[in-house]
Structure 1
Amino acid sequence: MTRDDRYKLFGVYVSEPVFDALEAYLYESAGVVDYEGYFDPSDAGVPVGDPGADATDRLVSDVVAEFAALYDAADFAAARAVDADAFILAQLAAEPRTVTRARERFQAAATIQETDSRTVHTAILAAALEGDPDLELEE
């Protein structure tokens, strides 16, 4: 269990272009140079104040807040077209309650779309990272 001063890590499977967009987002938002090795999934949590963790917390919080709009904007067909072996595990850090809300929304979307979590993670995060000004995602 994490304390209030730590973010919880959780993994999402995304396509390579979405992973690259996450990497660019973290570089621009927090100066993270090596996103792939930045978070250690064996850690109990990441301290609040860590620049990369703060950036992913903002992103995940925005995704949760704007999930309905992102769902409508998501290209699920393109995400379904990704080869099953081509998904990459990306670690994100967020406040524990936000992680729970994100997981619930991703699972509900997977159920509605009758697809797997990888497809939903990819489609929703791609929509978020495309920077649609109507979604007003903060950076």
Structure 2
Amino acid sequence: MTSDDRYTLFGVYLSADVFDALAEYLYAEAGVVDYGNYFDPSDSGVPVGDPGADATDDLLADVVASFADLYDEADFDAARRVDADAFVLAHLAAEPRTVTRARERFQAAATIQETDSRTVHTAVLSASLSTRDGLEDD
């Protein structure tokens, strides 16, 4: 359990191109240079006020708030074509309630799509990142 001044880490599996888009977003928003090594998954939480953590908290909160629209925009077929061994584990720091809500939505979407979480994580986060300023043309 984390206190109010710490974020919980939430692991998502992403295709390499979506992981790269996320890294680019975090560099632009928070100056995160090495996203792949930014969060230590063995930590019990990340402090609120950490620039990268604040950026991923904002991103995940936006994903949760607009999940239905992102689900409609998501390209699940493209995500299904990603080789199962090609997914990369990414960590997002977020407020614990946001993490819980995100898990519920991703699990429900995986059930509806009759697919795995990797496909849903990739498709929905790709849709979210593609609408962010500066990433649309990538």
Q: TM tier, shorter chain?
A: over 0.9
**Could you state the TM-score of these two structures normalised by the residue count of structure 2?**
0.95
Secondary structure of 1:39's counterpart equals coil
Counterpart CA distance in 1 for 2:20 and 2:123 is 14
Secondary structure of 1:12's counterpart equals strand
Which deviations, in whole Å up to 9, do the C-alpha atoms of 1:59-90 show, x marking residues without a partner?
Answer: 00000000000000000000000000000000
- Percent identity, aligned pairs only? 78
Corresponding residue of 1:99: 99
Which AA in structure 2 matches 1:76?
Answer: F
Secondary structure of 2:40's counterpart equals coil
Counterpart CA distance in 2 for 1:20 and 1:103 is 22
Which AA in structure 1 matches 2:120?
Answer: V
**Could you state the TM-score of these two structures normalised by the residue count of structure 1?**
0.94
Q: Does 1:25 pair with 2:35?
A: no
Corresponding residue of 2:4: 4
Alignment of 1:1-139 (within 5 A): 1-131=1-131
Counterpart CA distance in 2 for 1:28 and 1:131 is 14
Counterpart CA distance in 2 for 1:2 and 1:19 is 26
Counterpart CA distance in 1 for 2:129 and 2:70 is 10
Which AA in structure 1 matches 2:85?
Answer: D
Q: How big is the shift at 1:132? A: 6.3
Unmatched segments (≥5 aa) in structure 2: 134-138
Unmatched segments (≥5 aa) in structure 1: 134-139
Which 4+ runs in 1 deviate beyond 3 A? none
Corresponding residue of 1:136: none
Counterpart CA distance in 2 for 1:2 and 1:107 is 23
Which deviations, in whole Å up to 9, do the C-alpha atoms of 1:23-81 show, x marking residues without a partner?
Answer: 00000000000000000000000000000000000000000000000000000000000
Counterpart CA distance in 2 for 1:65 and 1:43 is 27
Equivalenced residues, count: 133
